[in-house]
Structure 1
Amino acid sequence: MKVRLGWLVVLLLCGPAALPAVAADDFPQRQIRIIVPFPAGAGPDQVARLIGQHLQDAFGQTVLIENRAGALGSIGAQEVARSAPDGYTLLMGTNTTHASNVATLKSLSYDPVKDFTPVIRTTTTAMVLLVNPKFAARDLPQFLDYAKAHPGLTAGYGSGASQISVAQLQSRGGLSVVAASYRGVPQALTDVMAGVIDLTFGDFSVAIPQMQGGTLRGIGVTSATRNELTPGLPALAEVMPGFEATIWYGLFAPAGTPEPVVGKIYAACEKFLSLPATREKLASVGVVVATMTPAEFGAFVKNEIVRWSAEVKAAGIQPQ
């Protein structure tokens, strides 16, 4: 009894500081959830499912991927921000949830910095300007000519980067388009294929398969230069100087998650993403492994909020 009381006194005196190491040693003991704040099939969803499968194998516990799409990812992000800080609920965040939303949404229901603990930046990618195969223009010069001659083309967006890209068609390309909001990029792609809207911007991971299958036509890429996976597509910046939208994905935990738990998740993800087979699989769909440590990722997010806020302002987007 005296021994047990002694340990109890030690824990009470040390407080929460004594608990994280124990939690990290035992973590995980049950199912982990990764919330993807975008629809199934979107770029972040594809990366989350690859990482989730690896964590499941590495930890010996089920890893469940849950899609909580809506409001440019803020619904899913809010859910994670309000979850217990124990490492069992994670967010596959992006530059939308943790940077551009600060400027595009009037009342953001979470703080991208204060409400989260960065775990690891996983990947970066870009987008493709996509149209229906029956669209009158077949390449970028034809697209510009057609768009100028037909003002009011409908342009769908389902993320912060795609919203900013649509706006850049107007601010940097001098085009007149009507922006239409979607719950996610896949829904916008579906409506382009169905002929409901004229164009959209899709992440490489969802755009490349559709282009290869002939269901969508690529016009140009949003990266500053051409991408080796789509050498035939010009960078939009070639004819619209300054046009760029490079995006990133990464894992976040709720603020206050014990550092040792974060470190354990980071180490498992870093090991998986460093494998040549993983890099090749992601690169085949235009997603580049570009990891950052928790500290690096945290500093990066703060800088990204500044950068994307400037992009939103330059594109003339009014907060919704």
Structure 2
Amino acid sequence: MFRKLAYCMLLLTSSTAFAQSLPSKPITLIVPNPPGGVVDTAARVVGQPLGQLLKHTVVIDNRPGGSGNIAYQAVARSAPDGATLLVSYSAYHTANPSLMAKLPWAPKDFTPVALLVAATNVVAVHPSLPVNTLPELIAYLKKNPGKVSYASQGNGSLSHIGTELFKQQTGTDMLHIPYKGSGQAIADVVSGRVQVFITTPPSVMQHVQSGKLKALAIAGKTRHPMLPAVPTTAEAGLPDFTLEAWVGLFAPAGTPPALVNQISNGVKQALDTPEAKKQAAAQGVELRYLNPAALDTLVNNELGYWRNVISKASITLD
């Protein structure tokens, strides 16, 4: 009887401590990109339901610039109390360490909390280009080397590295025009100032559907449900070109495991809400939860992968 009572008291004490582990102040999700695009979309998809489930105020703070480093450094230097979390873009998180010799943060500065979303990329072009298929684009670029420009969300972003890989695989040449996030980039692509944008669907979906842009191929293994008529790169004759971005939630290193797990479980429930599913479907992103351990494995695998890719492509931000 005594042992049973003691055990029950231990469970009650542990549960109480667990419930009180959230910070007293609001939880701030720091986004390394401006509003618009898959990273900001992921933050907004999870933010409101997470706050409701945790019964806590969740604030979204966009801090673009410096190829993500402004936001990453801010979170890395924050107290490990769960009050400041990073909404991390895969290219920044796994490519910047290989792109910059003097990076003001390191992957070890963060504790994985949960994967939020994944999004394949779409090859989109302005209608002024006289092409309607991916093979036609490649042929046109070969006939006009250096005369076509492409947009990216910034130096070292996945759209930058991915398009450079596209150039390498197709033997083409385009002029790189970097922006500070998708919002500014898409404005110039829609206006025709820049002609090509390889990016995630949220950035271009409405413009493709309205006819302001052409979607030539999906750089994934399957067609996108919001663009069912657009072939994959494999179907279009370029099977080796696949490009997927992901967005994950990270806490500063040293955040207590119980707190990390509590927030991660909240994220899992938040992503399963009808509202989150509706928003994700409307924006063309895939909700894909991974727990802290699985996200840690994903990060470590991609750090090695992008290190090799960046080295072969001779890309640097220094």
TM over 0.5: yes
**How far off its partner does 1:257 sit?**
0.8
Q: Secondary structure at the match of 1:172?
A: helix
Q: Are the equivalent residues in 2 in contact too, given 1:78–1:110 (CA < 8 A)?
A: yes
- Report the CA distance shift for 1:187/1:19 in structure 2 as closer, same or farther (over 3 A): farther
Cα distance in 2 for partners of 1:78, 1:26 equals: 24
1:312 matched residue in structure 2: 310
Identity %: 32
Number of residue pairs matched?
302
**How far off its partner does 1:107 sit?**
2.0
Q: Secondary structure at the match of 1:236?
A: coil
Partner AA of 2:197 in structure 1: T
| Correspondence 1:1-320 to 2 at 5 A | 22=17, 24-112=19-107, 114-152=108-146, 153-158=148-153, 160-237=157-234, 238-275=236-273, 278-320=276-318
Q: Are the equivalent residues in 2 in contact too, given 1:103–1:319 (CA < 8 A)?
A: no
Q: Secondary structure at the match of 2:170?
A: coil
Cα distance in 2 for partners of 1:273, 1:190 equals: 30
Q: Are the equivalent residues in 1 in contact too, given 2:21–2:259 (CA < 8 A)?
A: no
Q: Are the equivalent residues in 2 in contact too, given 1:31–1:61 (CA < 8 A)?
A: yes
**How far off its partner does 1:49 sit?**
1.1
- RMSD of the alignment, in Å? 2.2
Cα distance in 1 for partners of 2:14, 2:255 equals: 12
Q: Are the equivalent residues in 2 in contact too, given 1:204–1:285 (CA < 8 A)?
A: yes
Q: Are the equivalent residues in 2 in contact too, given 1:92–1:250 (CA < 8 A)?
A: yes
- Report the CA distance shift for 1:185/1:20 in structure 2 as closer, same or farther (over 3 A): farther
**How far off its partner does 1:57 sit?**
1.8
Cα distance in 2 for partners of 1:223, 1:315 equals: 21
Q: Deviations over 1:62-100 (max 9, x none)?
A: 211111111221221111111111000001002112101
Cα distance in 1 for partners of 2:237, 2:80 equals: 47
Cα distance in 1 for partners of 2:125, 2:44 equals: 28
Cα distance in 2 for partners of 1:48, 1:84 equals: 20
- Report the CA distance shift for 1:184/1:55 in structure 2 as closer, same or farther (over 3 A): same
Q: Deviations over 1:97-117 (max 9, x none)?
A: 2101122233211111x1001
1:6 matched residue in structure 2: none
Q: Secondary structure at the match of 1:106?
A: coil
Query: Tell me, which stretches of 5 or more residues in structure 2 are unaligned?
Result: 1-12
Partner AA of 1:186 in structure 2: G
**How far off its partner does 1:319 sit?**
4.0
**How far off its partner does 1:128 sit?**
1.2
Q: Are the equivalent residues in 1 in contact too, given 2:126–2:213 (CA < 8 A)?
A: yes
Q: Deviations over 1:232-283 (max 9, x none)?
A: 2222344334111111111000001111111111111101213455335413
Q: Secondary structure at the match of 2:20?
A: helix
Which is worse superposed, 247-256 or 293-302?
Answer: 293-302
- Report the CA distance shift for 1:314/1:242 in structure 2 as closer, same or farther (over 3 A): farther
Q: Are the equivalent residues in 2 in contact too, given 1:222–1:244 (CA < 8 A)?
A: yes
Cα distance in 1 for partners of 2:164, 2:45 equals: 32
**How far off its partner does 1:24 sit?**
5.0
Partner AA of 2:192 in structure 1: G
**How far off its partner does 1:300 sit?**
1.6
1:8 matched residue in structure 2: none
Partner AA of 1:272 in structure 2: A
Q: Are the equivalent residues in 1 in contact too, given 2:90–2:247 (CA < 8 A)?
A: yes
Q: Are the equivalent residues in 1 in contact too, given 2:87–2:249 (CA < 8 A)?
A: yes
Which is worse superposed, 276-285 or 41-50?
Answer: 276-285
**How far off its partner does 1:26 sit?**
4.7
Q: Secondary structure at the match of 1:268?
A: helix
- Report the CA distance shift for 1:193/1:74 in structure 2 as closer, same or farther (over 3 A): same
Q: Are the equivalent residues in 2 in contact too, given 1:72–1:97 (CA < 8 A)?
A: yes
Q: Are the equivalent residues in 2 in contact too, given 1:20–1:261 (CA < 8 A)?
A: no
Cα distance in 2 for partners of 1:179, 1:20 equals: 53
Would you identify which runs of 4 or more consecutive aligned residues in structure 1 move more than 6 Å?
A: 18-21
Query: Tell me, which stretches of 5 or more residues in structure 1 are unaligned?
Result: 1-17
